[in-house]
Amino acid sequence: MSNMAAQVGVLPVSLSGKFKGSFAYDTIKDRLPQILTRVIDTLHRHRNEFFEEHGEKGIEAEKKAIAYLSKLRNELQTDKQLIALCDNLPDTALWNQYLEYQQNLSNGPPSWYKSPWLYVECYMYRRIHEALVQNPLISDFDVFNEEKVHGFFESEQAIVILTTYLQELLKNLSGLNEKLLQVEFFKLLQVSLWGNKCDLSISGGEDNSQKSDPLQSLEELKSFILVDHMEKIWSLLINEKKMNSRTMTRIDIVLDNAGFELIADLALADFLVSSKLATEIHFHGKSIPWFVSDTTNRDLSCTIKQMQSSNHKWMSKCGVSWEGNMKNGVWVYHDHFFWTLPHEFSSMAQVAPDLYAELQKANVILFKGDLNYRKLTGDRKWDFTVPFHQALNSFHPAPLCSLRTLKSDVQVGLKPGQGEQLMNTEPEWMVVGKYGVVQFDAAS
């Protein structure tokens, strides 16, 4: 941790609940307790299920988990100091070292409002996991599963529109020249970008599904893309395709939300492979339920199965071919506990060198969503005009691109005056999910 501490001196201050009125403060004060309350309620509603499976011991496990979570909610609301984890999982020691590191950094015990927002928010989700792990009978229960499933079904109309469009497009791919291929790539990239609006942690778990036609609105949404580097990714991919017609082009997608956003990511991945812009896609997801709607391996498998069993022929066709891609290794899913640590990505090479080495194999990495952006930039009070490359703080495993709709108060790489102008016309512009970025860094 020592070189992390050394770096911190030259970096801007972390976003934190100690700044009253900030989005971080509002999140800790309102959204996080609301999410914990929903988790407690979910466990309570499933008590009969636990009883049917495990008898009285199931009820006992549920009660203990609820007592733990109620205590956690109280700690949060009264700004108690953060405590060490004691569940002895593979990542427990790293979490506890990070607690020590934060303690040394602030010369005092870290607490909910005084410590970096990124840290305490991740810490809450890890403690939710601890509540379940300490009660082995229910340790596999995903407290966010209902919301994720609901989000999928509520977005079904949009999924039908997208999969129908995709299947038509794939049928006619061979007839597309380079210019038309680029147009289609931009379209699906934007669908994947705006799919990131469907985030259940931002709505405190309330329904936030994709109701409208995801393709129809692309033209009017274009003006809300504050940084648009689509051309740069296209150039990289089309050049790879021309130069490496006989070798592999690997694209890694670091996933964010399940539900419609995941479908949009899979549709993009399908197009990339079918058009030979990529030969393999590597997906990275969370190893435990995270930030309400983040994608786990189970979510990915269930989504593909759900698609296969749909009575809509194009949804079903997508499900079948996506299952095929997973089986034949054209698509690969990776789990790594680093994605559910509190660390920013600039410490990945040090904390998880195996994952960093894996990402270095990619020709380009797409980082989906807001949490990944916060970790890419260290979730700090950067000036709007600071270059993205600088904010990455030496995290450059491969050329990378962030596809993100803004839902937290960090944004870099804007033109001079752009951020201030938005501040004047729309004070909430950074947190409402209305604006997006397609922000590229070449890694050299």
| Per-residue model confidence (pLDDT) at position 198 | 62
| Per-residue model confidence (pLDDT) at position 199 | 57
| Per-residue model confidence (pLDDT) at position 209 | 60
Q: Which stretches of the chain drop beneath a pLDDT of 50?
A: 1-9, 200
pLDDT digits (tens, 9 = 90+) for 52-91: 999 999 999 999 999 999 999 999 999 999 999 999 999 9
- Three-state secondary structure along 275-341? CCCCCEEEEEEECCCCCCCECEHHHHHHHHHHHHCCCCHHHHHHHHHHHHHHHCCCEEEEECHHHHC
The per-residue DSSP string of 143-174 comes to TTHHHHHHHHHHTHHHHHHHHHHHHHHHHTGG
| Per-residue model confidence (pLDDT) at position 208 | 54
Q: Which domains does the chain have, with CATH numbers?
A: 2-138 (1.20.930.60), 153-441 (3.40.50.10880)
Question: Which pTM does this prediction carry?
Answer: 0.95
| 164 phi and psi angles, rounded to 5 deg | -65, -45
Residue type, 116: P
Residue type, 198: C
| Per-residue model confidence (pLDDT) at position 212 | 77
Vertex 373, ends 371 and 378: CA angle to 5°? 95
The sign of the dihedral angle between the CA atoms of 313, 314, 320, 321 is: positive
| Per-residue model confidence (pLDDT) at position 242 | 85
Quick one: CA torsion of 311, 317, 323, 328, rounded to 10 degrees?
Answer: 160
